[in-house]
Structure 1
Amino acid sequence: MSMELQLIDTIFFSDKRKNLLLLLKDGPKTIEEIKTELEVSSSPIMAQIRILLRDRLLVQRDDVYELSVKGKLIVPKMEPLLSTFQVFDENHEYWARQNLCTLPPHLLDRIGELGHCKELVPERTHIFDYPPEIMGPLYRSRTVMEVSSFFRPGYPGLYLDLAKRGIQVSLVLERPIYRKLISDYLKDVEEFLAMENTCLFVCDHKIELASSIVTDRFISLSMISKDGRYYNHEMVSFEKSALPWGQELFNYYKDMSEKITQI
């Protein structure tokens, strides 16, 4: 086995070693502190410590263990990779269907920031509605931002209602969606634009996903499959780390869009 493969095996193929390395990222620990914080006994954890010492990821000073120089370089890079593994492992079938290349590269690299996600599959009787699981949090949010390349019949009424409740609402829509709105819901759009807590942007570039909603409570991502189909499934995360990721996705499309102030 090459040194590189041995190192990968050492780091990732034992939860005890992985958890110990992440624990020591915060600073040196005595064996008693390690046992207490990881809730392990002496014999099993000492076996893992010996392996990490052998591969020079740890150093020992008396009864204190800490990351070596090599460990301090490697361990901080473990967390994003482990987070990415978690995102894909928890919802493998969903992500396998999606064309992930449609996400901006800098955000795809950090997809682990979505954390724990749940796939929401709509009932056939409510195929065009927002999932009920996000409606409560949506109305309890202070800010709501959505990027969308498709039209939901409930769009105009929902976002007007949210804005009337004092929620800051910002939308980025593809040009064809905007045209449909002003064609079929002109009065609602005019009322929306007249409010102080609303923003509407129109994007003439192709939005490479179905929709993304990000609030101060959650992010909901609906993508287009590898075969170009839209299945109306939402991937939702309530993790704090997911919110800045979602805001960057919104800003990515907002920055290439035109702000609409009046029709």
Structure 2
Amino acid sequence: MTMDLQLIDTIFFSEKRKNLLMFLMEGPKTIDEIKTELDVSSSPIMAQIRVLLKDGLLVQKENLYELSVKGKLIAPRMQPLLSTFRVFDENHEYWASQDLYTLPQYLRERLGELGSCREIVPDRTHIFDYPPEIMNNLYRAKTIMEISSFFRPGYPGLYLDLVRKGVEVSIVLDRPIFEKLALEHRADMEAFISMENASLYVCEHKIELASSLVTDRFTSISLVSKDGRYYNHEMVSFEESAFAWGQELFGYYRDMSKQITEL
């Protein structure tokens, strides 16, 4: 086994070693502090400490254990990778079939920030609408940011209703979707953009993903498959890190868009 593979084995093939390295990012700890935090007894954790000492990831100073220089370089990079593993593991079939290249590279590399996700597929009674799990949360949200490259029949009425209820709503649309709405739902569109708490943008470039919803209650994303098909499903996360990730995705497309103030 090469040194690189041995190091990977040392770090990732033991839950105790992973947890210990992450805990020691806080600073030097005594064996009693380690045992209390990780809820382990002396013999098992000492065996893992000896492995980490041998591979140069820890150092011992009197009765304290701390990350070595190598450990301090490696440990902070573990969490993003572990988070990404968890995202893919929880919904392996979904992510394996989606075209992840529709996401900006810097956000694709931080996909682990979505945290624990759940795939929501609408039943036949909601095939063209948001499923109840999303709709109910939309009406409880204070802010909504959406990116969309496809048309939902309920769009105009839904968002006009939300802004009239005081929700802050910002939408970035693909140009063909905007033109369809402006042609077929002009009155609702004019009413929407006249509201102070509503913002509408048209992206000057093609929106590659299907849609994304970012609210103060949840973040969802819907991608297209590797063969270019859209299956009307949402990957939803309720984690705070997902909200920040989603805000950046919205900002990415908003910065390539033109705000619409009149039709």
1:232 aligns with 2:232: yes
SS at match of 1:128: coil
Runs of 4+ in 1 over 4 A off after TM superposition: none
1:168 aligns with 2:190: no
| TM-superposition CA deviations, 1:70-100 (whole Å, max 9, x none) | 1011100101111111111100000011010
Q: Distance in 1 between matches of 2:145 and 2:155?
A: 13
| TM-superposition CA deviations, 1:36-95 (whole Å, max 9, x none) | 110111111110000000001011122211101110111001011111111111000000
- In structure 1, the partner of 2:3 is 3
Matched positions, count? 263
- In structure 2, the partner of 1:79 is 79
- In structure 1, the partner of 2:218 is 218
| TM-superposition CA deviations, 1:150-201 (whole Å, max 9, x none) | 0001101110111011111000001111111111111100100110000000
SS at match of 2:27: coil
Q: Distance in 2 between matches of 1:13 and 1:131?
A: 39
SS at match of 2:240: coil
Letter in 2 for 1:196: E
How far did 1:140 drift? 1.7
Q: How does 1:234-249 map to 2 (within 5 A)?
A: 234-249=234-249
Letter in 2 for 1:61: K
| TM-superposition CA deviations, 1:228-258 (whole Å, max 9, x none) | 1000010000110011110111111111111
- In structure 1, the partner of 2:203 is 203
| TM-superposition CA deviations, 1:92-114 (whole Å, max 9, x none) | 00001101011000100111110
Q: Distance in 2 between matches of 1:57 and 1:204?
A: 49
- In structure 1, the partner of 2:158 is 158
1:178 aligns with 2:178: yes
Q: Distance in 2 between matches of 1:102 and 1:193?
A: 28
The alignment-based identity, stated in percent, is: 71
Q: How does 1:40-189 map to 2 (within 5 A)?
A: 40-189=40-189
The TM-score, its normalising length taken from structure 2, stands at 0.98
SS at match of 2:245: helix
How far did 1:136 drift? 2.3
SS at match of 1:262: coil
Q: Distance in 2 between matches of 1:194 and 1:121?
A: 34
SS at match of 1:47: helix
Unmatched tracts of structure 2, length 5 or more = none
SS at match of 2:221: strand
SS at match of 1:241: helix
How far did 1:128 drift? 0.8
Cα-Cα RMSD: 0.8
Q: Distance in 2 between matches of 1:172 and 1:132?
A: 23
Letter in 1 for 2:216: D
| TM-superposition CA deviations, 1:200-245 (whole Å, max 9, x none) | 0011311001100001221110110001100001000011001111
How far did 1:125 drift? 2.0
Q: Distance in 1 between matches of 2:180 and 2:71?
A: 56
- In structure 1, the partner of 2:15 is 15
How far did 1:121 drift? 1.0
| TM-superposition CA deviations, 1:122-142 (whole Å, max 9, x none) | 102211110211222212211
How far did 1:260 drift? 0.4
The TM-score, its normalising length taken from structure 1, stands at 0.98
How far did 1:6 drift? 0.5
Q: Distance in 2 between matches of 1:8 and 1:223?
A: 32
Q: Distance in 1 between matches of 2:131 and 2:92?
A: 21
Letter in 1 for 2:79: E
Q: Distance in 1 between matches of 2:135 and 2:23?
A: 38
Q: Distance in 2 between matches of 1:182 and 1:56?
A: 63
Letter in 1 for 2:17: R
Q: Distance in 2 between matches of 1:97 and 1:188?
A: 36
